[in-house]
């Protein structure tokens, strides 16, 4: 026991000594030079390597920064068709996954550590395995993730040759075959569409999150935004119609958004088709809503009278050949068929859409359904199940009871990144390599192949899927690079210039000439014969007509199955990909867990999202704990009101409630897979919601922005295109000089400034994660966020404007505004935040004593305080990700966005060493680099021709809280919405 006196003595000594800590000199550090420095490495300067991240089988091209052998930052590869230079949240955060200390580290058999050689002995040439090598593979089944890799494809083909009876299944919980099934129904073969949004004036998205979901979303977002930049009021702009239940990033940018239950999207599509096919849209303008109706019963007629449907149909008809109808992966094939029919009638195919052969291995075959595997498991026909990647025990539909089935398999192998739920039930657990550690290849959505090259030697050991397949081929392990090199050498026919080809493919991150050719759907085998409205491209085509088989709107189904035929007035349960943890595979990633959901702003968990009206009907308050009862399953989670959500539908994110050995993921949120059923994977009727009580403790919703509106203040400005053209200067009250008592700065050199175009910000949050990765921003955890201590230098404020029932959302990235007259600078007692000669508001950590006066005086609330020594909480593995150009802040220090000053200074030094001036567009901040839509523009205002200077000449420029006279260097371009003129009627 410590007595009172001793205690006081120690406290006193502690206080006295606390002041002395500043006097301790740092211990002498060491310098460890290379023994043999690789010629390409210049210690101190980053090197970028092109590689590709595979996600659900499709590749996204990346450039990854390597600092003396440590990959530290992911950026998009401008040469890659799926990236165009951008990188989304998953790509950005994948670097943290590489260093995740919870990754599987050891190969084990029933918990005991084994070597790779033991594994090879068990399944390789001298196998004693249950499936009886060297037999025909009877009883062997491989459950893989979807893959497009040419190398893996060839190895799979050879395994099939060696074991003709072996079963294969490709499963990913978020994959959907709707698109391909529809194409097969219409064209007679599975085809996948590649859209060209640059050529589309009118885009109709039917439950399709085209700007933030899917393997080509980064490209689509760029193409979409390129038609919306509106450099001057008279410039043209595309128009986006979105019909959806939840609020996605695409819905945020919609010019017209239809709040519709997921089950009714098919009816909307059918009504659209009726109106467009009827050809009466233009003629019926002003006529009775029902005029020209073809099928006149039930809800179909009601939808045909719907304002949104009529406006969309009118616009489509007027833009034949320059429009695009997209159906979402969540929707059943029926909706995709309707979309194909619409596109065919409008003559869009071949103009805004091209079809290519599917990219994934086996796609369109039954192996892409888990049902055959589950049936074989139930029949006890599988003796050895090899699961590579994924987490089927967690993410298979609950009615399969996959975990139970797996337990009955005599021999179970799992190869994955983590010791997750699936690994826990397997005998053999083989650590897999992260894509940043492995050699491989993968194809993008449009078929373009690219190489995966490692950035670092495997941290914890492990193998790739290719290595694993080699084991089953009874072949000696070869060097992974050698394997890949040989496979491409064979594929390209070798030749003398192969070495050049190989180096070029590695350097550029794209293999030229591999993009899939367009499949002419008018050609042989095509079954579409559509009388196009658009003239050219509308010649009669042979075969039966897809459109004629379009279903009547009476028998629409949801995700399929009986239950989807819901009674009107019942509740629909709808599942969605989580914008942060995807299907659950990124659930152990602190950056993504702490990333606020783009719309709800929820961190660290999921919730039952429902519209305020439905919530009121059910008596569920915002933040209440509810129990979802759905087809025999129950799930408790907090409810969250989401303005703009469809009535009578509840949306739940997949990917939470993990129960594996991953420390970050465990226990966060609720596992919605427990309610998922195989016959209705995305939505279905028959949901009951019961209020349990107020959510408390761990079940409480944690959000970074509780409020929805701007409380009537002009913060995020929105105008219609017509209004903007009529009054281009509508933001003039929010810019320009303000009277001030403070003297002007005496500037020299470049003048840094940023402009953010709210018109194209989807809120996808790639910038937030990019900033976190670049600037060593710590994760504070659920409790920290609950106390408002999140550290993001860049946040995205989300405001609802207009009607609460039919709201519009405007996203506003908010970061340090780098005010000319910065309120923070005036109150800092120690000059820790000062102004630089090139216009930055500098934050000097080593001077900061933590009074927090600056934060209190900042009207934009962008300053963050280090309440704890977060750096100490980071694992040594994660330390490897740190950017060596940015100080790791200590406890008691204020921090904030610096405009990536480390990049500015590095670029400035490089330019001056080369004896030239720094270009106005030469510095690219991390957020700007990541932005898929290029909403963020950064550069020198001193250069009148820089991109940022040009953006400053747009009339819709304004600064936030202009009336305060802070004169921010970060300015915004008001959001312009391109409403269809006729809908004003």
Partner 1 sequence: MPALFPRWSDTLLRVGIVGVLAAVLLAVGFAMAWVRTPQITGQFSPLEQPVEFDHRHHVADDGIDCRYCHDLVERSPYAGVPPTERCMNCHNQIWPDSPLLAPVWASYFKNEPIVWRRVHQLPEFVYFDHSIHVNKGVGCESCHGRVDRMARVYQVASLQMGWCLDCHRRPERVLRPVEEITTMGWVPSRPQEELGRELMERYGVRRVTDCTACHR
Contact residues: partner 1, CB under 8 A: 25-26, 28-37, 42-45, 748-749, 834, 836-838, 840, 842, 844-846, 885-888, 898, 901-902, 904-905, 909, 912-913, 915
**Toward partner 1, which CB reaches closer, 1 or 32?**
32
**Toward partner 1, which CB reaches closer, 506 or 834?**
834
Q: Quote the least distance from Cβ 47 to partner 1, whole Å.
A: 12
Instruction: Please tell me the distance from the alpha carbon of residue 443 to that of residue 700, in angstroms, as a whole number.
Output: 41
How many angstroms separate the Cα of 48 from the Cα of each of 43, 65, 610, 927? 13, 4, 44, 18
Instruction: Please tell me the distance from the alpha carbon of residue 717 to that of residue 972, in angstroms, as a whole number.
Output: 9
> How many CA atoms lie less than 13 Å away from 947 in the CB half-sphere?
16
**Toward partner 1, which CB reaches closer, 903 or 934?**
903
**Toward partner 1, which CB reaches closer, 559 or 908?**
908
Q: Which residues contact 514 (CB under 8 A, 6 or more apart)?
A: 443, 447, 448, 449
Place of tokens 């810019």: 735
Place of tokens 């885009």: 203
Instruction: Please tell me the distance from the alpha carbon of residue 502 to that of residue 761, in angstroms, as a whole number.
Output: 38
**Toward partner 1, which CB reaches closer, 43 or 494?**
43
Q: Quote the least distance from Cβ 456 to partner 1, whole Å.
A: 18
Q: How does strand 112-113 pair with strand 140-144?
A: unpaired
Q: Quote the least distance from Cβ 840 to partner 1, whole Å.
A: 6
Q: Quote the least distance from Cβ 41 to partner 1, whole Å.
A: 10
Q: Quote the least distance from Cβ 838 to partner 1, whole Å.
A: 7
**Toward partner 1, which CB reaches closer, 898 or 970?**
898
Q: How does strand 841-843 pair with strand 833-835?
A: antiparallel
> Tokens in use for 878?
């994660």
Q: Which residues of 305-323 are buried (b: 16+ CB within 10 A; e: fewer)?
A: bbebbbbbbbbbbebbbbb
Q: By the 8 A CB rule, do 154 and 468 touch? A: no
**Toward partner 1, which CB reaches closer, 649 or 885?**
885
Instruction: Please tell me the distance from the alpha carbon of residue 299 to that of residue 553, in angstroms, as a whole number.
Output: 8
How many angstroms separate the Cα of 971 from the Cα of each of 260, 616, 816, 951? 35, 39, 11, 10
Q: Quote the least distance from Cβ 773 to partner 1, whole Å.
A: 16
Instruction: Please tell me the distance from the alpha carbon of residue 450 to that of residue 453, in angstroms, as a whole number.
Output: 10
Q: Which residues contact 134 (CB under 8 A, 6 or more apart)?
A: 127, 474
Q: Quote the least distance from Cβ 772 to partner 1, whole Å.
A: 17
Burial grade of 16 (CB within 10 A; 0-12, 13-18, 19 or more) = exposed
How many angstroms separate the Cα of 240 from the Cα of each of 237, 326, 364, 975? 10, 11, 30, 14
Q: Quote the least distance from Cβ 5 to partner 1, whole Å.
A: 29
Instruction: Please tell me the distance from the alpha carbon of residue 685 to that of residue 646, in angstroms, as a whole number.
Output: 14
**Toward partner 1, which CB reaches closer, 177 or 836?**
836
Q: Quote the least distance from Cβ 794 to partner 1, whole Å.
A: 17
How many CB atoms within 10 Å of residue 519?
A: 18
> How many CA atoms lie less than 13 Å away from 452 in the CB half-sphere?
29
**Toward partner 1, which CB reaches closer, 474 or 911?**
911
Q: Quote the least distance from Cβ 907 to partner 1, whole Å.
A: 12
Q: Quote the least distance from Cβ 831 to partner 1, whole Å.
A: 9
Place of tokens 């050895």: 384
**Toward partner 1, which CB reaches closer, 354 or 835?**
835
Please state the φ and ψ torsions of residue 130, each to the nearest 5 degrees. -70, -25
Q: Quote the least distance from Cβ 909 to partner 1, whole Å.
A: 5
Please state the φ and ψ torsions of residue 33, each to the nearest 5 degrees. -75, 160
**Toward partner 1, which CB reaches closer, 664 or 901?**
901
**Toward partner 1, which CB reaches closer, 41 or 545?**
41
> Tokens in use for 743?
């003297």
Q: Quote the least distance from Cβ 914 to partner 1, whole Å.
A: 9
Helix (H, G, I), strand (E, B) or coil at 66: strand
Place of tokens 């680099």: 929
Q: Quote the least distance from Cβ 561 to partner 1, whole Å.
A: 57
Q: By the 8 A CB rule, do 478 and 470 touch? A: yes
**Toward partner 1, which CB reaches closer, 68 or 486?**
68
Q: Quote the least distance from Cβ 936 to partner 1, whole Å.
A: 20
**Toward partner 1, which CB reaches closer, 724 or 899?**
899
**Toward partner 1, which CB reaches closer, 904 or 960?**
904
How many angstroms separate the Cα of 358 from the Cα of each of 81, 217, 430, 953? 16, 17, 30, 45
Kindly report each contact of residues 396-399 with a partner whose C-beta sits within 8 Å and lies 24 or more positions away, as own/partner.
396/171, 396/173, 396/370, 396/673, 397/370, 397/673, 397/676, 397/677, 397/678, 397/681, 398/633, 398/673, 398/674, 398/675, 398/676, 398/677, 399/677, 399/678
**Toward partner 1, which CB reaches closer, 485 or 845?**
845
Task: Provide the 8-state DSSP code for 262.
Answer: G
Q: Quote the least distance from Cβ 899 to partner 1, whole Å.
A: 9
Q: Quote the least distance from Cβ 862 to partner 1, whole Å.
A: 17
Max CA separation in the chain (angstroms): 99
How far does the chain reach from its first CA to its final CA, in angstroms?
81
**Toward partner 1, which CB reaches closer, 2 or 31?**
31
Q: Quote the least distance from Cβ 908 to partner 1, whole Å.
A: 9
**Toward partner 1, which CB reaches closer, 109 or 845?**
845
């Amino acid at each position: 026991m410590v007595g009172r006196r001793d205690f006081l003595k120690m406290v006193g000594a502690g206080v006295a000594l606390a002041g002395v800590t500043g006097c301790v000199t740092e211990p002498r550090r060491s310098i460890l030079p290379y023994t043999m420095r690789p010629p390409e490495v210049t210690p101190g300067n980053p090197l970028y390597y092109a590689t590709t991240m595979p996600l659900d089988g499709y590749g996204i091209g990346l450039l990854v920064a390597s600092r003396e052998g440590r990959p530290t930052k992911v950026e998009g590869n401008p040469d890659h068709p799926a990236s165009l230079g951008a990188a989304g949240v998953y790509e950005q955060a994948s670097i943290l996954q590489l260093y995740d200390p919870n990754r599987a580290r050891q190969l084990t058999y029933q918990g005991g550590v084994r070597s790779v050689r033991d594994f090879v002995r068990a399944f390789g040439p001298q196998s004693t395995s249950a499936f009886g090598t060297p037999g025909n593979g009877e009883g062997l089944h491989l459950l893989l993730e979807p893959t497009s890799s040419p190398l893996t494809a060839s190895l799979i083909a050879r395994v099939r040759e060696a074991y003709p009876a072996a079963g294969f299944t490709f499963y990913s919980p978020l994959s959907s075959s709707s698109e391909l099934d529809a194409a097969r129904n219409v064209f007679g073969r599975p085809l996948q569409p590649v859209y060209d949004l640059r050529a589309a004036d009118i885009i109709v998205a039917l439950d399709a999150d085209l700007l933030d979901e899917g393997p080509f979303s980064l490209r689509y977002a760029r193409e979409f935004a390129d038609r919306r930049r509106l450099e001057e009021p008279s410039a043209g702009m595309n128009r986006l119609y979105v019909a959806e239940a939840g609020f996605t990033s695409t819905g945020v940018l919609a010019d017209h958004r239809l709040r519709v239950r997921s089950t009714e999207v098919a009816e909307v599509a059918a009504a659209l088709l009726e109106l467009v096919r009827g050809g009466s849209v233009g003629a019926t303008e002003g006529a009775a809503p029902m005029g020209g109706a073809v099928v006149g019963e039930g809800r179909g007629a009601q939808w045909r009278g719907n304002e949104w449907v009529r406006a969309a149909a009118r616009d489509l008809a007027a833009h034949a050949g320059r429009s695009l109808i997209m159906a979402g992966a969540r929707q059943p094939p029926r909706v995709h068929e309707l979309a194909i029919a619409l596109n065919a009638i409008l003559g869009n195919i071949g103009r805004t859409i091209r079809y290519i052969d599917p990219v994934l291995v086996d796609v369109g075959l039954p192996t892409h359904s888990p049902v055959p595997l589950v049936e074989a498991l139930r029949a006890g026909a599988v003796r050895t199940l090899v699961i590579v990647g994924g987490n089927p025990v967690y993410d298979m539909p609950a009615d399969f009871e996959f975990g139970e089935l797996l337990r009955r398999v005599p021999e179970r192998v799992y190869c994955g990144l983590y010791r997750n739920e699936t690994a826990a039930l397997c005998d053999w657990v083989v650590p897999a390599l992260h894509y940043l550690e492995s050699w491989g290849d993968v194809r993008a959505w449009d078929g373009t192949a690219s190489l995966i090259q490692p950035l670092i030697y495997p941290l914890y050991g492990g193998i790739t899927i290719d290595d694993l397949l080699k084991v089953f081929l009874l072949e000696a392990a070869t060097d992974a690079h050698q394997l890949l090199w040989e496979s491409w050498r064979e594929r390209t026919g070798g030749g003398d210039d192969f070495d050049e080809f190989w180096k070029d493919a590695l350097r550029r991150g794209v293999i030229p000439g591999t993009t899939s050719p367009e499949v002419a759907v008018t050609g042989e085998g095509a079954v579409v014969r559509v009388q196009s409205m658009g003239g050219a491209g509308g010649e009669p085509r042979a075969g039966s007509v897809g459109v004629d088989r379009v279903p009547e709107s009476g028998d629409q189904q949801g995700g399929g199955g009986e239950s989807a035929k819901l009674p009107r007035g019942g509740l629909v349960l709808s599942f969605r990909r989580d914008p942060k943890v995807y299907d659950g595979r990124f659930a152990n990633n602190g950056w993504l867990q702490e990333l606020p959901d783009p719309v709800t702003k929820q961190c660290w968990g999921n919730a039952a999202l429902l519209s305020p009206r439905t919530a009121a009907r059910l008596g569920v308050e915002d933040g209440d704990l509810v129990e979802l009862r759905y087809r025999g399953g129950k799930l408790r989670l907090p409810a969250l009101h989401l303005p703009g959500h469809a009535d009578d539908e509840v949306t739940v994110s997949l990917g939470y409630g993990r129960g594996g050995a991953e420390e970050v993921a465990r226990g966060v949120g609720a596992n919605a897979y427990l309610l998922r059923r195989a016959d209705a994977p995305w939505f279905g009727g028959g949901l009951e919601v019961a209020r349990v009580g107020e959510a408390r403790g761990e079940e409480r919703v944690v959000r970074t922005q509780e409020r929805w509106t701007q409380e009537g203040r002009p913060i995020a400005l929105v105008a219609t295109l017509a209004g903007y053209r009529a009054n281009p200067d509508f933001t003039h009250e929010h810019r320009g000089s303000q009277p001030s008592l403070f003297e002007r700065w005496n500037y020299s050199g470049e003048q840094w400034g940023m402009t953010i175009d709210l018109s194209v910000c989807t809120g996808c949050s790639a910038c937030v994660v990019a900033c976190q990765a670049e600037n060593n921003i710590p994760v504070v955890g659920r409790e920290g966020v609950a106390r408002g201590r999140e550290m993001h230098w860049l946040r995205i404020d989300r405001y609802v404007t207009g009607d609460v029932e039919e709201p519009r959302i405007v996203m506003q990235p908010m970061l340090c505004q780098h005010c000319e007259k910065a309120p923070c600078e005036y109150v800092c007692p120690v000059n820790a935040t000062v102004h630089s000669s090139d216009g930055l508001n500098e934050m000097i950590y080593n001077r900061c004593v933590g009074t927090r006066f600056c934060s209190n005086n900042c009207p934009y609330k962008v300053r963050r305080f280090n309440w704890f020594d977060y750096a100490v909480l980071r694992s040594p593995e994660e330390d490897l990700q740190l950017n060596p150009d940015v100080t790791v802040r200590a406890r008691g220090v204020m921090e904030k966005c610096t405009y990536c000053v480390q990049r500015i200074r590095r670029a400035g030094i490089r330019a001056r060493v080369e004896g030239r001036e720094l270009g106005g567009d030469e510095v690219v901040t991390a957020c700007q680099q990541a932005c898929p839509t290029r909403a963020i523009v950064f550069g020198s205002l001193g250069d009148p021709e820089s991109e940022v200077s040009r953006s400053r000449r747009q009339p819709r420029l304004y600064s936030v809280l202009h009336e305060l006279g802070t004169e921010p260097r970060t300015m915004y371009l008001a959001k312009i919405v391109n409403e269809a003129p006729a809908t004003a009627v």
